[in-house]
A = this chain, B = another copy of it.
């Protein structure tokens, strides 16, 4: 097997230069880098990342644990983390739990222990006490994305404020009959998002002296399809609300599609507001609270880099709130038919 010396000799550079060129760390002229990479490919040289890792105690590898990458929020967070790590020369090990508790436990117990990771980013996971102990037992930095987590730095939006902002906008427009499509209570995935967006809704309604009708608190999963089906039932009832606050943009789009299929005009007959900043919102003219998940992922990665840097830890575990932006489009307006006084 070719050694780094063979590569350096073929590329006509010093071993140190060849090492810098292959590791991506330290200055190398573009010309030398090109020669080294070509020599490395020609000799089928495989740099021993394992050996390098043993020497430095670092593998330049960050573990990301996420329910899945096939939901908008998770995919965008992973994208943000991935881009930040690429810029910093770190690799990303992806662990998906599929939202199943068994898989989640397997990932935390077996994989994290087996794999040599410099740090871990759990995304939107609610962990049992035991799972959290496993996560922390590897003794590496952990920065979560999503709700606060005891003993761990986390990054996320203020969910309660997002819910209050969206609801307050509807109240400010004159709506009094407001429904909320909230996400299900799957304890592994959605706990923190839902609880607090919903509590933001409830608090805003209470502050305005408005009633939260039990039948207007509609539980759906986070998909457009389920929100569509449930909104259709809600909006077909004779006692329908004049506005809906949906806990996500995809759910809000489902509500708009259901309203249209029932012959209701948005916003004349029904105002709809969401949370996310999903691309879909543009076509639907959706008013929404944008939460920039890429930025949340990138921020979590940047915090980890700080912890791995020469200064080390960034203080005690805390929850860092990232700002949202409220975008008013055409899906919300004053009610034509005011709700019951």
Contacts and interface: CB of A to CB of B under 8 A. Distances in A.
Interface of A: 22-24, 37, 40-42, 44, 46-51, 53-54, 59, 61, 64, 68-70, 72, 75-76, 78-79, 82-83, 86, 89, 91-96, 98, 103, 106-107, 109-111, 113-116, 133-134, 137-139, 223-225, 228, 254, 257, 260, 279-280, 282-283
Contacts of A110: 22, 24, 89
Contact of A37 (B92, B93, B109): B109
A2 to B, nearest CB: 11
A147 to B, nearest CB: 22
B113 A22 contact: yes
Given A94-B94, A95-B92, A109-B37, A49 B114 contact: yes
10 contacts: A22-B114, A46-B138, A47-B113, A50-B50, A69-B75, A70-B76, A79-B98, A91-B95, A92-B94, A225-B283
B53 A50 contact: yes
Closest 6 CB pairs of A and B: A41-B137, A70-B75, A50-B50, A49-B116, A94-B94, A69-B69
B93 A91 contact: yes
B139 A46 contact: yes
A93 B93 contact: yes
Contact of A137 (B40, B50, B139): B40
A50 B54 contact: yes
Contacts of A113: 22, 37, 40, 46-47
A116 B50 contact: yes
Please report whether the interface of chain A is mostly helix, strand, loop or mixed according to DSSP. helix
Contacts of A279: 223-225
Contact of A114 (B24, B82, B228, B257): B24
B68 A79 contact: yes
Given A50-B53, A51-B50, A69-B79, A93 B94 contact: yes
A27 to B, nearest CB: 15
A107 to B, nearest CB: 7
Contacts of A76: 70
B48 A51 contact: no
A106 B86 contact: yes
Contacts of A103: 86
A158 to B, nearest CB: 24
A60 to B, nearest CB: 8
A217 to B, nearest CB: 22
Given A49-B116, A70-B72, A228 B283 contact: yes
